[in-house]
Amino acid sequence: MPVQYENQHVTVFQSELYQTTSTVAVTKDIILITDPTWLPGEIEAIRQHVDKHDNGQRKYLLFTHSDFDHILGWKAFPDAVTIASRGFTAKSGREDILQDIHDFDESYYIQRPYPVEYPSIDIIIDHDEQTMEIGNTSVSFYLAPGHQADGVFAVLPGPGILIAGDYASDVEFPFIHHDSRAYERTLNKLEEVMDENTINLFVPGHGTCTADGAEIRKRIRDSRWYIQTLRDEIRHQQSSEVLGAFVDSYSFSRYLGEEHENNKAQIEKERRA
C-alpha cells in the first residue's frame, strides 16, 4: 500500500481508492491505528507495518465514523482495543452498512481473509477532550458530527498529530450526510484545536496530509464558505456561478457533482424542517 507520509511518529497510508488515508501512530506506549482500508492487500500492508513496530505496546483501533470504507478493516486487527463515538455504537442501519461492504466485495470479486462485521467498541467517546493516557502518551478525542452524526477526530499532542476523519480534505468539499450546522460547528472546533495545540501534521480521511498550518486553515475556510454559499443558494433559489466553478475546480468532478446535488437536497431538507 502506498505510503503518503512517514516520520518517526506516524505513517500515513493512502489507498488507490478515493485517496483514502489510514494512519498508524507509534509511541513507546501505544500503536494507534485509524480507519484501516480498502483492499485486503492494502490492509495486510498496514497490519505488517503494525507488526514490524510492535514492541509490546498496547494496540488501539480508532474509527473516525461509520461509513463502510472506514470500518471494513476491523477484523484484520483482532487484538486491538477499539475506539469510536457513542453515536457509532448506537448506529442504526448497521445491516445497510455491512451490505455496502458485501456489495463492494462482490462487485470486484474480493475475498477477505477475515469476517465482515460491524465493529464492537471498547472505549466510547462521549464528550470533547476525552483523553486517553497510557504511560507518557496522551490522545484526546473530539466529537465531530456533520459529515455523519457519529464522527470523531483525534489529537496526539506530543508529536502534534491531528487525525481529522472526513473533514478539511484537499480532494473533496464537504459531504454533508448528517447536518450542515453540525458540520460548521465541527469546522469551528477544528480551528479551536488548532489554536490550542501545536499541530505538526493534519491527516484528512481522503486526500493529502499537510504540515502547513496556513493550508489547514484554508481548507477549513473553504469548507465553511462552501456550506454557507450553498445554503444561500438554496434559500434564494438561484444557482451561483461562483459555487459551480468551485465544485468544478476539483478533480473527479463527475462524482463530486453527484455529492454536490446530495448536499443541495440535504440543506433543502434542513430548511423545510
In a domain, 117, yes or no: yes
pLDDT tier at 198 (50, 70, 90 boundaries)? very high
pTM of the model: 0.95
Please report whether residue 86 resides in a domain: yes
Q: How many domains does the chain have?
A: 1
What CATH number should be reported for the domain holding residue 191? 3.60.15.30
Q: Is residue 200 part of a domain?
A: yes
Q: Is residue 267 domain-resident? A: no
Q: Is residue 228 part of a domain?
A: no
Host domain of residue 168? 3-210
Q: Is residue 134 part of a domain?
A: yes
Mean pLDDT, all residues of the chain: 95
What pLDDT does 192 receive? 97
- Please give, one letter per residue, the 3-state secondary structure of the chain: CCEEEECCCEEEEECCCCCEEEEEEECCCEEEEECCCCCHHHHHHHHHHHHHCCCCCEEEEECCCCCHHHHCCHHHCCCCEEEEEHHHHCCCCHHHHHHHHHHHHHHCCCCCCCCCCCCCCCEEECCCCEEEEECCEEEEEEECCCCCCCCEEEEECCCCEEEEECCCCCCCCCCCCCCHHHHHHHHHHHHHHHHHCCCCEEEECECCCECCHHHHHHHHHHHHHHHHHHHHHHHHCCCCHHHHHHHHCCCCHHHHHHHHHHHHHHHHHHHHC
The reply to whether 264 falls in a domain is: no
Confidence of residue 222 (pLDDT cuts 50, 70, 90): very high
| pLDDT digit string, tens, across residues 99-143 | 999 999 999 999 999 999 999 999 999 999 999 999 999 999 999
Residue 254 in any domain: the answer is no
* Tens digits of residue pLDDT in 70-100: 999 999 999 999 999 999 999 999 999 999 9
